[in-house]
Amino acid sequence: MDRYDLVVIGGGPGGYVAAIRAAQLKMKVALVEKEKALGGTCLNVGCIPSKVLLEATENYHKTKSVFGEMGIFCSEAKMDLIKLMERKEKVVRELTDGIAILMKKNGVKVFNGTGTILSPGNVKVSSSDEDKEIEAEKILIAFGSVPIELPFLPFDHKIVIDSTDALNIQKVPEKMVIIGAGAIGLELGSVYSRLGSSVTFIELLPRIAPFADEQSSKMLFRYLSAQGMAFKLESKVVKGEVKQEKALLTICDAKGKEEVLECDKVLVSVGRKSNNKNQGLEKLGVALNEKGMIKVDETLQTSIKNIYAVGDCIERGPMLAHKSSEEGVFAVEKMAGLEPHINYNAIPNVVYTSPELAQVGITEEEAKNRGLKVKTGKSYYKANGRAKSLCEEDGFIKVVASEEDNKLLGLHIVGPKASELIHQGALCIEYGGTFTDIANMCHAHPTLSEAVKEACLNVEKRAIHG
């Protein structure tokens, strides 16, 4: 029987990154993945393919609107969905092939099959060809997550679809309803809206992107509404059925008023859940919380010695690919006796709509709920020269800082390239910096990043352009 220092179960951004780092630390590593391609949900049916669709459809939208302001006219612009899907698959294939090469380069043995933990030192790999058992000194669980299904509206993957289905567009639906206005729903709704669908969101809470800073959420709501997307907030779907290739949804608002919506597609995007079901963890003795997520300690070790877990399947941190990767590195470095570090407060969160929404740290509301005294500063893209040159003036930047010691507590951005600009805040929070650290730093001109500096300056009402 083959024996390894570490067996990683799950080849997503938590698992494959952990495997590479463990190999760098001279461990003998095996990686078990049930899908043919490595990369997990993020690379195969999540982060990467969705960004290909978002980028293409945003450029398509700009050719019909914004580009005219620049003197560029594309009267014959059209979207070739077949070509777009081919490009999406090409990008995914190149990246998954790249991960396979990295496995070989780092000497990681990849087993294609379903991994089951038989005991703390033994893993069974089941494939269509054979079952094989391998021994492991340590095991890392990286099962990932799956979309949550509504019990009264199960996925049929034709009319009632999940996020994976939504990435394989064959025909643009005339009417689409999206249940849930979180990051995934907003992004995919943007794609369909740009392609010509009439998109309506049903959101149980009083605002979209409910995890975000309240002002950021409200601002994004205005911009997306102006783009033609409709939102029914404080509403829920109480009944759903499919008839004659159409979905009929009964919606109930906060006042108890009901209405029926008919649509061609329903995208259920109410969140994701840990992919721990039917993995035999309870029988093994791995402790789970009430939601079925794996409990881990500060080293990311489970209740069973030498079995660790990372990513979407654990009860710690947000369900984000980059968070999973950081945890993968952290876990194996702990195994190796190093002293790694993760600051969950410094993990950025992004919604890739247009404009983008990005944030890191805590919101002003969270700070006040914790009893912290804060001060804020804002700047608006309209005053930024680079934003004007790009014809992308929508949005703002908001800084939340401690009144006591000036420490940067949060950075919140709605606007172009927010996903890139947010890392100024992440770096500052990671190293315990103050808003004045960014305010005093010389930023190149003209750049969008100057707007971050302006927001920091404005905490003390000394912004130059605002």
**Which residues, at least 6 apart from 123, have a Cβ–Cβ distance to it below 8 Å?**
7, 9, 32, 115, 116, 117, 133, 134, 135, 136, 139
Q: Rg of the Cα trace of the chain?
A: 23
**Nearest by Cα to 30 from 154, 128, 151, 142:** 142
Residue of 61, 423, 445, 465 marked catalytic: 445
Residue 298 has φ and ψ, to the nearest 5°, of -65, -15
Contacts of 376 (CB under 8 A, 6+ apart): 364, 398, 399, 400, 401, 459
- Give the closest residue to 410 by CA, choosing from 440, 464, 370, 382: 370
What are residue 413's phi and psi, to 5 degrees?
Answer: -130, 135
- Respond yes or no: is residue 443 known to be catalytic: no
Look at residue 56 and give its three-state secondary structure. helix
DSSP letter (8 states) at residue 66: G
User: Order of strands, edge to edge, in the sheet holding 160-161?
Assistant: 160-161, 265-268, 175-179, 198-202, 230-232
Residue with tokens 């293409």: 56
Helix (H, G, I), strand (E, B) or coil at 89: helix
Q: Which residues are CB-contacts of 38 (< 8 A; sequence separation ≥ 6)?
A: 11, 16, 31, 96, 99, 100, 103, 110
**Longest Cα–Cα distance in the chain:** 69
Between CA 136 and CA 7 the distance in angstroms is 6
Helices 15-24/81-105 angle, 10° precision: 30
User: 17: helix, coil or strand?
Assistant: helix
Q: Which residues are catalytic?
A: 445
